Amino acid sequence: MIQTRKTELKKNFKRMFWIQALMNVKVISVVSTLFYLHRGLTLAEVFYLTVVWAVVSLLFEIPSSYLADRWGRKKTILLGILLSLAHWVLFIFADNIIIFAVAISLASLQFASFSGTDDALIYDTNKELGKKDKSIGKLGKYYSARSLFKIIAPLIGAFIANGLLEWQFLIVLAIDMVAVTASLFFAVKIVEPNHYVDVEEQELGIIKDAWKIIRSDWVIGKAILGRTLLFIVMFIIWRFHQKYFIDIGLSVWALGIAWSVIHIFGFFYNQNIEKFLRRGDLNLEINFLNYLVIVLMWILLFGVLFFPQPLLLLCIFVLLDVAELFRWPLYSEFYNRRSKSFNRATTLSISNFFKSILDIPLLLTVSVLISKDITYPFMFAAGIAFVVLFFKLPKQEVTIKD
């Protein structure tokens, strides 16, 4: 019986890989902003939707992770998939900002359901199998799943929606719905790993303990701020880059190729992440990638302002996105090493909770800036990136806490 459970637990990694891959097909992503504009929204309203996402995430990020710790990782992931499916259905019919806001709210709830829950499931599965020290490799492979279908999905999206017509957008949305539905097959087969709960620690309260960890450890605070601010920087640029590049003369095909390249790099890096870690120093690797993102963001801003050559700017954008993408599994491992198993999903989600707090004023500011000049958000994003220089992690490797 024990051997059978171990065999099934080992399959969790493949099941989570395919769930992540199918949930992130998102063929619409390559033309998502153009789709919003086609349905009658303005660029400012597109950013209003991101604020809706942030507010919903702020309200449900910690409750959803509490749910994952108490109700179970598997059930929470299943709930997230169903929420995602409902969001895609609404996208098919949405033709005003209200319906889009409801759809985005469901998508945010799905993201909150997965946030921290998926990492915790992988980490605890590894721990039950006696291989917790190998979690960085498993997390890397899991995150590589985000890029698997996205290697070809942008090309498919660019091919189908090249004319930016209504029927083309509907076909793209249908593909994304089918992919999410398929992920349910793998989710129902997940085996819930043990959470290794210490009764005395549990009595302190899951959420209270997670906050206690962060308040007493400024290194975690710096990591959260560094990760969050640069993610917001990239999100700002991503949200309107399609409109900007189309306006300066690039085609939907060029965007599709660019995103395929980004995800090719992301897939192979995450698949082989252990080989890329320098001397095993997680903090050093995180600092290096953060600095790289900051430098590339400022190079992009310089190009936009003084040398707006379309292909050159697109190449810089690709490098910027690749560098930011590389950071994710490293931060997940960082959080895993500094939090305990029973509240791991909650601790991981605290970083997304802070992101939502920062999102609201920052994205509202961008919605105002972009209505005045499309180059202003580039300046704003570069300014945010500069702030991350003050959140360098210490050189020594973090201490592992079981």
Contact 293, 233 (CB under 8 A): yes
CB-CB neighbours of 18 under 10 Å: 16
In a domain, 402, yes or no: no
Is residue 401 one of the residues assigned to a domain? no
Q: What Cα–Cα distance (Å) separates residue 374 from each residue in 240, 297, 332?
A: 9, 16, 33
In a domain, 395, yes or no: no
Q: Is residue 400 one of the residues assigned to a domain?
A: no
Q: Decide if pLDDT at 153 tops 60.
A: yes
Closest CA to 24 of 152, 161, 145, 166: 145
For the chain, give the percent of residues with pLDDT over 70: 85
Q: Which residue has the tokens 């600092």?
A: 287
Single out the residue of 131, 113, 112 nearest to residue 122, CA to CA: 131
299, part of any domain: yes
CATH number at residue 14: 1.20.1250.20
Task: Give the Cα separation of 179 and 196 in Å (integer).
Answer: 34
| Any domain includes 397 | no
In a domain, 398, yes or no: no
**Residue 177: helix, strand or coil by DSSP?**
helix
Question: Which amino acid, residue 216?
Answer: S
- For 202-207, what is the mean pLDDT? 44
Q: Averaged over 7-31, what is the pLDDT? A: 90
pLDDT number for residue 375: 97
- For the record, the structure tokens of 395 come out as 């050189």
Give the H or E element holding residue 356. Answer: helix 344-372
Name every residue whose Cβ is closer than 8 Å to that of residue 254 and which is 6 or more positions away in sequence: 245, 310, 311, 314
Residue that has been written with the tokens 């089918």 in this structure = 178
Q: Is residue 399 part of a domain?
A: no
- Inform me whether the pLDDT recorded for 282 exceeds 60: yes
Contact of 352 with 56, CB cutoff 8 Å: no
Helix axes 97-114, 117-128, angle to 10 degrees: 20
Distance CA 348, CA 119 (A): 8
The stretch 92-111 carries a mean pLDDT of 96
Range in 15-29, 164-178, 220-234, 273-287 with the lowest mean pLDDT: 273-287
Handedness of CA 281, 133, 66, 8 (dihedral sign): positive
What's the pLDDT band for 35 if we cut at 50, 70, 90?
A: very high
The predicted pLDDT at position 22 comes to 94
User: How many Å separate Cα 179 from the centre of its chain?
Assistant: 18
- 172 in Cβ contact with 38 (< 8 Å): no
Confidence of residue 43 (pLDDT cuts 50, 70, 90): very high
pLDDT at 78 over 90: yes
Rounded-to-integer distance, Cα 253 and Cα 115, Å: 32
For 139, the token pair is 């997390």
Average pLDDT over the chain, rounded to an integer: 85
Domain containing 350: what range? 2-390
Using pLDDT thresholds of 50, 70 and 90, give the confidence band for residue 1.
Answer: very low
Read off the pLDDT of residues 319-340 as tens digits, 9 standing for 90 and up: 999 999 888 878 877 776 766 5
CA distance 134 to 125: 11
Query: What's the start-to-end Cα distance of the chain, in Å?
Result: 26
pLDDT at position 211: 64
> Among positive and negative, which fits the CA dihedral 260, 266, 375, 48?
positive
pLDDT of residue 203: 34
Q: For the chain, what is the domain count?
A: 1
pLDDT in tens, 343-396: 555 555 566 677 888 999 999 999 999 999 999 999 999 999 999 999 998 875
Q: How far, in Å, CA of 323 to CA of 296, rounded?
A: 9
Residues in the chain: 402
Name the least confident of 54-63, 177-186, 189-198, 245-254: 189-198
Residue 296 CB neighbour total at 10 angstroms:
20
How far apart are alpha carbons 51 and 250 in whole angstroms?
28
